[in-house]
Structure 1
Amino acid sequence: MADHSAPLPCGRTDAELLDVLTGSAPPELAAHARTCPHCQAELAELESVWAPVQRTARIPVDPPHGLVERALVTVRGVRGGLGAAPVELTQEGGVLQIHPRAVVLLTRQLCAEILARHPGMHLRGCVGDADEVQVDLAVRYLLPATLTEQIQQELSSALRRVLGAGAPAVWVRIADVEPPRTT
Structure 2
Amino acid sequence: MGEPSFDPDQVLPCGHTVGELVDHLAGDAPDDFAAHARTCPHCRAELAELAPGGWEPVRRAAELSVEPPEGLISRTLLTVRRARGGAAGSPAEVAQELGMLRVAPQATLVLARRLSLELLADRRSTRLLACTGDVQEIRVDVVIDYGLPAPALAAQLQDDLGRALREHLGAAAPAVWVRIADVTPPQSS
**TM-score, normalization by structure 2:** 0.52
- 2:121 matched to 1:119? no
Shift of 1:129: 1.7
Residue identity opposite 2:186 in structure 1: R
Residue identity opposite 1:69 in structure 2: G
**TM-score, normalization by structure 1:** 0.53
| Conserved? CA contact 1:8–1:39, under 8 Å | no
Aligned counterparts of 1:2 and 1:139: Cα–Cα separation in 2: 41
Identity across aligned pairs (percent)?
27
| Conserved? CA contact 2:94–2:101, under 8 Å | yes
Q: Which runs of 5+ in 2 are unaligned?
A: none
| Number of the residue aligned with 2:64 | 59
Shift of 1:38: 0.7
Single out whichever of 135-144 and 68-77 deviates more from structure 2. Answer: 68-77
SS in 1 for 2:55: helix
SS in 1 for 2:128: strand
The change in CA–CA distance for 1:13 and 1:110 in structure 2 (over 3 A counts) is: farther
Shift of 1:54: 1.3
Aligned counterparts of 1:119 and 1:169: Cα–Cα separation in 2: 26
Question: Higher relative CO (CA 8 A, sep ≥ 6), structure 1 or 2?
Answer: 1
> How many residues in Structure 1 have an aligned counterpart in Structure 2?
168
Aligned counterparts of 2:158 and 2:134: Cα–Cα separation in 1: 17
Q: 2:147 aligns with which of 119, 142, 150?
A: 142
Residues 14-163 of structure 1 correspond to what in structure 2 (within 5 A)?
14=18, 17-23=21-27, 34=37, 37-43=41-47, 46=50, 48-63=53-68, 67-69=69-71, 71-72=73-74, 82=89, 85-87=91-93, 97-99=102-104, 101-111=105-115, 113-114=117-118, 117=121, 118-123=124-129, 126-127=132-133, 129=135, 133=138, 135=140, 137-144=142-149, 145=152, 149=156, 153=160, 157=164
| Conserved? CA contact 1:139–1:174, under 8 Å | no
| Number of the residue aligned with 2:4 | 4
